[in-house]
Structure 1
Amino acid sequence: MMNALSTLLAAREVPVFNASMAGAAGVELASAVSAAGGIGMLGVTGTPDLSMLSRSGERLHNDGAVWGAGFLSFALERDMAPLHAVLAHQPDVVSLGFGGCDDAITAIRETPAVLLAQVGNADELEQAADARVDGIIVRGSEAGGHGRNDIGALPFLQLAAQHTDIPLVAAGGVTTPRGLAAVIAAGAVGAWVGTRFAVATESQFPDAARQRVIDAQCGDTVYTRVFDIAQRSSWPPHYGGRALSNEFSDTWHGREDDLERQVATTDVITADMNDARASSRFDVGPIYAGEGSAMITRVETAAEIVDDFASYRDYLHGSRF
């Protein structure tokens, strides 16, 4: 029997979400992905502009988009206002990750929205299964942005499929229709696609960040905490982030204790990091991107990306190799 997530995906042309990447996944990307036949997701920071978030939800709802938003559970434990701002506009999907927030789960379940939980290791998988969410985003270590670094997407997906009957969405390295076919063959009902959509025309990524992703080669990413340490970020330390390597990570990755001491005693590093992010100096500032960067060669519209993913059926059924 189909559950709420399976029913939602069955009504879409292609079973892909754009990942809810804060700093990339705004209303333009979510709208474009939905219009192309996927599910468009808004990325919500830990301290979002509530009026802008509400306007984005209102626009997507009024346009008839199939859309949702992704939240940081540890931030919702401090303040539920961002979640309520989104729920007021009747999203189709809400995803929670990075900790647990029972109040958020309760609030979402009082609405028709499909509830997804993003997990990054076996313990988080068990917690999501026990909560009986509508779907579980199985995030592998090759994925861009913040998360665990415990296990790759494909082995984690197979483990999860043996562990639970809740529908699974694969996240990490799904960059081409071949990748989408692979994770569906391994037990997923769809894919949570980050890096490729981060480079889309409608993404909030600066042009300089797009170009760096396009130029990236195999092995050009690093899983690290150094960018969070430099920014005095509120991210829990067990959630590092995968980003493109740059001069800053080359200097400090593996020297986190030294970096923490320096950040604690002077504002210079933090000020420079904040300036680098604001001015697109990506030799210092981070570009969060996954290992799939090596397969991205150009900027495309969201519609072109979704249309390309639609050919996964040919690979799944063996008519293309």
Structure 2
Amino acid sequence: MMNALTELLTTRTVPVFNASMAGAAGPDLASAVSGGGGVGMLGVPSAPDLDGLTSAAERLQRERAVWGAGFLSFALDADITPLQRVLDHEPSVVALGFGHSDAAVTAVRKSPAVLLAQVGNIAELESAIDAGVDGIIVRGAEAGGHGRNEISTLTFLQIAVERTSIPLLAAGGITTARGLAAVIAGGAIAAWVGTRFTVASESQFPDAAKQRVLDARDGDTVYTRVFDIAQRAAWPPHYGGRALSNSFSDTWHGREHELETTVRSSPSMADDMLSARREGRFDVGPIYSGEGSALVTRVESAEAILADLGRYRDYLHAAR
């Protein structure tokens, strides 16, 4: 059955969205993904530069890109202005996740944008179903960045397929054409791909961070809250983040309560973590990346990544 999301995807050549990763998914990446046949997404942090966000949205609107933006619902409950700025520029898609905001859902529903909800466990899945969104991003624990760590992508996708007829996007560990074929065969209509696009030539990741992703091997990520604690970030505690392991996480992961005490007594630790991110000191600062980083081997353009992922059809045909 067609709905707003499936109709949008009929205009695309590859059923792939770049994940809305703040710090990686800026207008260059969103534009390139759209131009390559996918859906380009902007990542919007909890407290974005509104002028920069407006400029990015204006550019994508001017280019007539197929684009959208992803928001943190818990942040929109405090200030809905960033969403309103984006909606003023006619995005194709808005993705909401990390909590539920009635105000944000209402605002998107008043626009022509496709409404997606990102979910990380069964309770969030049921909430998205009840909200009647256009599509649900089923995010597994393999995924990089913030989210829950409760269920793997393929298991979660199978559960979701049984529970709803709302179109599903799979997220977490989808890095290759074979991975895309697997989730399409499993019932998803598209994939939400993050880690592979962090090393796209158009990604906002600094070169040093891209190289660390390229150098990663299996087992080199950790799901942890230590980077958020050290930065005094406003993330709810049930949304940790999957990142590449480094000296800081090796030291503090599993010692979160002790770290919280240390940060309270030593504010300079938070300053150092923030400056480490700015300065590219990635033995301290985090690089959010999923388990799929073990499969990423080179920097490529978004267009080349999409062309490679588009080979998923060959694997689907072979399986038949």
Tell me the TM-score normalized by structure 2: 0.99
Match of 1:211 in 2: 211
Match of 2:244 in 1: 244
Letter in 2 for 1:97: G
Match of 1:63 in 2: 63
Match of 1:163 in 2: 163
In the alignment, the residues of structure 2 paired with residue 13 and residue 228 of structure 1 have an alpha-carbon distance, to the nearest angstrom, of: 37
> How big is the shift at 1:267?
1.2
Letter in 2 for 1:143: A
In the alignment, the residues of structure 2 paired with residue 55 and residue 157 of structure 1 have an alpha-carbon distance, to the nearest angstrom, of: 36
Letter in 1 for 2:301: T
Provide Cα deviations, 1:121-168, integer angstroms capped at 9, x if missing partner: 000000000001000000000000000000000000000000100000
Task: Say whether 1:279 aligns with 2:244.
Answer: no
Match of 1:267 in 2: 267
Task: Say whether 1:10 aligns with 2:2.
Answer: no
> How big is the shift at 1:172?
0.1
Q: Secondary structure at the match of 1:222?
A: strand
In the alignment, the residues of structure 1 paired with residue 119 and residue 198 of structure 2 have an alpha-carbon distance, to the nearest angstrom, of: 21
Provide Cα deviations, 1:73-106, integer angstroms capped at 9, x if missing partner: 0000000000000000000000000000001000
In the alignment, the residues of structure 2 paired with residue 87 and residue 93 of structure 1 have an alpha-carbon distance, to the nearest angstrom, of: 9
For structure 1, the 5+ residue unaligned runs are: none
In the alignment, the residues of structure 1 paired with residue 258 and residue 71 of structure 2 have an alpha-carbon distance, to the nearest angstrom, of: 31
Percent identity among equivalent residues? 69
For structure 2, the 5+ residue unaligned runs are: none
In the alignment, the residues of structure 2 paired with residue 49 and residue 231 of structure 1 have an alpha-carbon distance, to the nearest angstrom, of: 19
Match of 1:179 in 2: 179
Letter in 2 for 1:19: A
In the alignment, the residues of structure 2 paired with residue 80 and residue 316 of structure 1 have an alpha-carbon distance, to the nearest angstrom, of: 42
Letter in 1 for 2:95: S
Provide Cα deviations, 1:185-210, integer angstroms capped at 9, x if missing partner: 00000000000001100000000000
Tell me the TM-score normalized by structure 1: 0.99
Match of 1:89 in 2: 89
Match of 2:220 in 1: 220
Q: Secondary structure at the match of 1:317?
A: helix
Q: Secondary structure at the match of 1:192?
A: strand
Letter in 1 for 2:97: G
Provide Cα deviations, 1:251-294, integer angstroms capped at 9, x if missing partner: 00000000000001111211211111110000000000000000
Q: Secondary structure at the match of 2:118?
A: strand
> How big is the shift at 1:51?
1.1
Match of 1:255 in 2: 255
> How big is the shift at 1:319?
7.1
In the alignment, the residues of structure 1 paired with residue 121 and residue 205 of structure 2 have an alpha-carbon distance, to the nearest angstrom, of: 29
Match of 2:294 in 1: 294
Match of 2:76 in 1: 76
Letter in 2 for 1:82: P
Match of 1:123 in 2: 123
Considering only aligned residues, what root-mean-square deviation do their CA atoms show, in Å? 0.8
